[in-house]
Amino acid sequence: MNTKAKVKKIISILEKEFPDARIRLNHSNPFELLVATILSAQCTDERVNIVTKELFSKYKTPRDFANLRPEELEKLIFSTGYYKSKAKHIIESSRIIENEFNGQVPSDIETLLKLPGVGRKTANVILSHSFDKPGIVVDTHVIRITNRLGLVNTKNPEKIEFQLMEIVPRDKWVVFTHLLIAHGRKFCTSRNPKCDVCPIHSFCDHYKNLV
């Protein structure tokens, strides 16, 4: 079985296992998604959603956030971790969006990547879920699982993104990330993965090396 066929089979199995795989960050517009994704670094989606529920009830627009003092925002996002750098990035990005883009989040990856705190992962989340421009989001689950499966052989997120774009069907780019995140949480955990009950272990190089 070649790699593309292997990927299609893996996706098919995981879609049956996780039929509700989707983005878990609550948001109602591209700007809220930008803020939520910045906050999600090294933090659970559940915690981010708790924080943004209060945050977005008080502050609605890039202008609102641009006018915040760092200390004000830091108090509100403290529980997400790395709160000082996150507050700085959110405020600086908000000012750029307000002043340079008329309050609208840019819809192209080159411009998004120029915003403070926005890397390819965050940019692809925004493009995929707010502008219908599919991309493959590479987070820690995707890095771990694609290496274990033998789909890639690198820990570099950008290299993984472009390698996966060559073997994952384009219409599955967005859901592929969510399927691997769900799989990583339930079966392919960082420590002590549940290989014996994993629904895709027959396609996994890591598992084959164990048996």
pLDDT single digits (tens) 26-50: 999 999 999 999 999 999 999 999 9
Last residue of a domain, one of 114, 130, 146: 130
Structure tokens at 157: 């997120």
Residue range 176-192: mean pLDDT, rounded: 97
Examine the domain organization and report whether 146 and 183 are in the same domain: yes
pLDDT (tens digit per residue) in 70-80: 999 999 999 99
Domain encompassing residue 64:
30-130
From 130, 158, 185, the end of a domain falls on: 130
Q: One of 139, 159, 186, 196 is an active-site residue; which one?
A: 139
Q: Give CA–CA dist 12/101, Å, rounded.
A: 40
pLDDT of residue 41: 94
For residues 109 and 88, give the distance between their C-alpha atoms in angstroms, rounded to a whole number.
21
Instruction: Please write the tens of the pLDDT for every residue from 134-160.
Output: 999 999 999 999 999 999 999 999 999
The domain that holds 47 is classified in CATH as 1.10.340.30
Measured from the Cβ of residue 90, the count of other Cβ atoms closer than 10 Å reads 26
Q: What is the pLDDT of residues 78-114, one digit of tens each?
A: 999 999 999 999 999 999 999 999 999 999 999 999 9
- Read off the DSSP letter of residue 67: T
What is the rounded distance in angstroms from the CA atom of residue 206 to the CA atom of residue 211? Answer: 9
User: Is 139 labeled as catalytic in the residue annotation?
Assistant: yes
Q: What is the CATH number of the domain that holds 10?
A: 1.10.1670.10
- Would residue 88 show up in a list of annotated catalytic residues for this protein? no
The band of 164, judged by pLDDT with boundaries at 50, 70 and 90, is very high
Please tell me whether residue 102 adopts helix, strand or coil conformation.
Answer: coil
- Structure confidence at residue 2 (pLDDT): 95
- As a three-state string, the secondary structure of 159-196 is HHHHHHHHHCCHHHHHHHHHHHHHHHHHCCCCCCCCHH
- DSSP type of residue 201: G
What is residue 211's predicted lDDT score, i.e. its pLDDT?
A: 79
Give yes or no: residues 99 and 35 share one domain: yes
Give the C-alpha separation, 174 to 157, whole Å: 16
Helix 173-186 and helix 3-17: axis angle, to 10°?
60
Instruction: Mark whether 71 and 112 lie in a shared domain.
Output: yes
Give the number of domains in the chain: 2
The helix/strand/coil state of 38 is helix
